[in-house]
A and B are shown apart, each in its own frame.
Chain A
Amino acid sequence: MHITKRKEMPIGQAIAIRLGAIVVALVVCGVLTACLTGLNPVDVYAAMLKGAFGSPRKIWVLLQEIAILLCVSLALTPAFRMKFWNLGGEGQVLMGGLASAACMLLLGDKLPGPALIAVMFVTSLAAGAVWAFIPAMFKARWNTNETLFTLMMNYVATQIVAFYTIRWESPKGSGKIGVINQASHAGWLPQVGPSKYLLNILLVAILTVLVYVYLKYTKQGYEISVVGESVNTARYAGIKVERVILRTLLVSGAICGFAGFLLVGGTDHTITTTIAGGRGFTAVMVSWLAGFNPAVMVFGSFLLAFMDAGAGEISTAFMLNHSFGDILTGIILFFIIGCEFFVNYKVRFESKREVAEGV
């Protein structure tokens, strides 16, 4: 068997391969579903679609999920392009959300609505940025391993949120904060249009364009690419590598903080230790799948959010648990990532005997 790199593949053929991969994935998932559960796979797939698109509300929720996941993915991407593996998205989102919640609780009756939201916005971004800045500083100064450092910062953030959850719990003894400012709606982002989710979705859409432009067309974006490729080249070009690392992680953390702000101020109006919901890690996958291209991340976020919504639906509709949905998600992802190999390479089979015979 011999593997060779392909010439540039026509875009139509590449899309056909990817669609083919999804079809094969669905067949494999179908066989697996039938074998393991005895259910008709077509019914299961229909339920998944219904779970994601079954009602206007479901569609809005799906869009909101896409938006938040995309937001965190966008946050990680500048760091990733610099080959700084920021796995601390979870903690940075939490810290941003905690800052928002703190403002709502402590300043809710002291500031007028717009001013409160402005303060929440600034403190959330700052909190997320600080959480990313700490590992970045250690990396820039002492070249510590950012992967472990950012990962550990997640646990610290979770425990800080847990601490304040108890301190601010309401009602006392419930072990959670509950909806903040239920009566006054102080610090709640205003509803735009038909759904409370629309504002979040619009803000993330704008952010996507901004990050795309930042990475592709600004001097800072250029510096990030050079540092990511080779630190030596960056030094040669007179780029201050330490400064670029710090600055980029401030941006990365701030966008994570912004995601926390959207979650607390825009939809949940409360804070829990699980508010980030693993998106800090799912976003790593989205960012990689898209090759660090913000425009492509929209599709990755859609795929993962859709699969998650579908998994939730089949777990209730067919009395399966959520894990079964995750199995299907895993299989589909495997095929989608795997098919890239066939887009880039061609495989030829040839036996030794054929060669000897001169075939």
Chain B
Amino acid sequence: MAQQQPAIRMRNICKSFGSVQANHNMNLDVYRGEILALLGENGSGKTTLMNMLSGIYYPDSGTIEIDGKRVNISSPKDSFDYGIGMIHQHFKLVNVFTAAENIVLGVKEKGKFNIDAAVERIKEICDTYGFDVDPYQKIYDMSVSQKQTVEIVKQLYRGAEILILDEPTAVLTPQETDKLFAVLRNMRANNKAVVIITHKLNEVENISDRVVVLRKGEYVGEMITSETTQQEMTNMMVGRQISLNIERPDPEMKYRMKRIVVKNLTVKNREGVTKLDDVSFDAWTGEILGIAGISGSGQKELLEAIAGLQPVESGSIEYMVDVDEPVQLIGMDPVKIADMGVALSFVPEDRLGMGLVGSMGVTDNMMLRSFRNGPTPFTDRKDPKHLAEVVVDELEVDTPGIATPVRRLSGGNVQKVLVGREIASAPTVLLSAYAVRGLDVNSSYLIYDLLNMQKGNGVAVVYVGEDLDVLVELCDRILVLCGGKVSGIVDGRKTDKNEVGLMMTKLGGGEAQ
């Protein structure tokens, strides 16, 4: 491959944001006809590097060559012109437009615009690569996976020769991921260059030809995928030896009792759409109860209902103080629940929009749920400050200081701050939603360890997850939601991800009734 001309050659790229050096002397070559995986922990600079190719950021120094020619990419338009297409984590589509309208949006062609001709070309692209897109379907009618497909077709329609995908599988089911990978292989066969950013090592093994590893904004090395192992990739990424097995200690018998008993819970959202339909289950002390389901199947509503944040249509949620001492949680707000002596921690999905205050530092965020403590009208910042130091120290939060606004931290560090605070309150129930979403391997394992530690302390842990491999490895039992209904509760030790994946779709799509 060395004699081949690289499609992209980046040399000595530096980029910093304020005092944060996101990329330092970064080098990267991408060749045609290969799929390159970009691997690195949160905040290692993968997305920043790719954003400089897509014209969103401009490097402080360094050079970029496309097909051997020195280029200057200073806007997304320049990037298009050089044939670079990027699929971002958050899709950039117009909801009320059809797939075809979104795909042709912003394309400047001479002559009169002809949507039928465009649709023909879209179909052609779909046939070549094996996409499944209805050009006339509106975006708001589409699943996440379909929207992603539209994004990819859009880039190809515009003539992208180099495709960059930023964590494309984070929102997909295993079946959808397989489909995406088949398409990417077709592109490789068509001599296009594909760069994929991902945290999931099995996917790196599955799809890529070559892996480039970044750490703390620097290039650390690269490997031919077929000649390496997951363990080797992880070690290089983290910079030291770490274990890749998720532990699952057996629940301690001395704690065995039901802690949360949910019966016939029905929840409608503000628009009156049923999000949870007659859901019943128990969460036991000293176990991790996993909750699986396609995103939007009612996971969010379920956790928020237990936490006292979601109005409930009917049913009951009981917190068992002791074996025969239930407390009804429905109708109580979070403060009342806490006042009742119910120790409930909640790690919500929307970290900065719900769990933390982005503009505040770690210290001020530590007191978000405890600032009322103390008899005076003044806040006490001594204990939160101490807690902040402990969390930053023990969970290895990478921050310039405990007063730095948490918004400026990377995703993994934000999550550590949130989980650290929730665990610090010594809960008896710990609810977590997508606790490792967007987190790198190292941070993810740290979170799993923390959850297991809570389980060992007799806490009833509820873990809403999306990675089925993790769910079946970590959880004692898994409740599978499908369109707001319970499609089954399985034993984590006896099931596998295919069974869970099928149960997620068994009731037929995301439609509730």
Contacts and interface: CB of A to CB of B under 8 A. Distances in A.
Interface of A: 2, 4-8, 217-223, 225-226, 229-230, 232-233, 235-238, 352, 355-356, 358
A-B CB proximity, top 3 nearest? A238-B335, A238-B334, A355-B72
B70 A236 contact: no
Contacts of B368: 226, 233, 236-237
B335 A226 contact: no
Contacts of B253: none
Contact of A225 (B18, B58, B334, B360): B360
Contacts of A4: 16-17, 58, 60
A25 B137 CA distance: 57
Contacts of B359: 225, 229
Interface residues of B, number: 37
B113 interface: no
Interface string B350-371: 1011111111100010011101
A354 to B, nearest CB: 9
B346 interface: yes
A235 to B, nearest CB: 6
A222 B371 contact: yes
A220 B338 contact: no
B70 A358 contact: yes
A226 B333 contact: no
A219 B372 contact: yes
Contacts of B47: none
Contact of B357 (A218, A220, A229, A356): A229
B379 A352 contact: no
Given A219-B371, A229-B359, A237-B369, 6 more contacts: A225-B357, A229-B357, A232-B353, A236-B334, A236-B354, A238-B369
B239 interface: no
B19 A236 contact: no
A220 B377 contact: yes
A232 B379 contact: no
B27 to A, nearest CB: 16
A46 B379 CA distance: 49
Contacts of A220: 377
Contact of B353 (A5, A233, A355): A233
A233 B379 contact: no
Nearest to B307: A236
B63 A2 contact: no
B18 A7 contact: yes
Given A236-B355, A238-B334, A358-B63, A222 B367 contact: yes
A229 B350 CA distance: 14
Given A222-B367, A237-B368, A229 B358 contact: yes
26 contacts: A2-B74, A4-B16, A4-B17, A4-B60, A218-B379, A219-B377, A219-B378, A222-B371, A223-B371, A226-B357, A229-B358, A229-B359, A229-B360, A230-B353, A232-B350, A233-B354, A233-B356, A235-B334, A236-B307, A236-B334, A236-B348, A237-B334, A237-B369, A238-B333, A238-B334, A356-B72
B329 to A, nearest CB: 14
B348 A218 contact: no
Contact of B72 (A5, A7, A226, A352): A352
B387 interface: no
A356 B364 CA distance: 48
A84 to B, nearest CB: 16
A130 B475 CA distance: 56
B309 interface: yes
A335 to B, nearest CB: 24
Tell which of A8, A229, A236 has the most Cβ of chain B within 10 Å.
Answer: A236
Nearest to B370: A237
Contacts of A223: 371
A355 B63 CA distance: 9
A356 B66 CA distance: 13
A6 B18 contact: yes
Contacts of B17: 4-5
A340 to B, nearest CB: 15
Given A2-B58, A238-B333, A217 B18 contact: no
B333 A230 contact: no
A283 B357 CA distance: 27
Interface in B365-395: 367-369, 371-372, 377-379
B338 A238 contact: yes
Contact of B379 (A219, A235, A238, A356): A219
Contacts of A226: 357, 368
Nearest to B304: A236
Nearest to B359: A229
Given A5-B18, A218-B377, A222-B371, A356 B70 contact: yes
Nearest to A213: B378
A357 B348 CA distance: 51
Contacts of B60: 4
A219 B355 CA distance: 18
A230 B356 CA distance: 9
A160 B450 CA distance: 63
B334 A218 contact: no
Contacts of A222: 364, 367, 371, 379
Contacts of B307: 236
Nearest to A5: B18
Interface in B66-97: 70, 72, 74
A236 B357 contact: no
B72 to A, nearest CB: 4
Contacts of A6: 18
Nearest to B334: A238
Contacts of B379: 217-219, 221-222
B418 to A, nearest CB: 11
Interface string B199-210: 000000000000
A230 B358 CA distance: 9
A246 to B, nearest CB: 17
A237 B70 CA distance: 52
* Most central of B16, B72, B309 by chain A CB within 10 Å: B72
B20 to A, nearest CB: 9
A218 B58 contact: no
A104 to B, nearest CB: 34
A4 B379 CA distance: 37
B354 A230 contact: yes
Contacts of B357: 225-226, 229-230, 233
Interface string B40-79: 0000000000000000001010010000001010100000
Contacts of A8: 18-19
A7 B348 CA distance: 32
Nearest to A228: B359
Given A219-B377, A222-B379, A235 B74 contact: no
Among B70, B346, B348, B379, which residue has the most Cβ atoms of chain A within 10 A?
B379
A141 B19 CA distance: 44
Interface string B7-34: 0000000001111000000000000000
A236 B346 contact: yes
Contacts of B371: 219, 222-223, 237
A223 B367 CA distance: 11
Nearest to A8: B19
Contacts of A2: 58, 74
Contacts of B369: 237-238
Contacts of B355: 233, 236
A265 B63 CA distance: 69
A217 B378 CA distance: 6
B66 to A, nearest CB: 13
B56 to A, nearest CB: 13
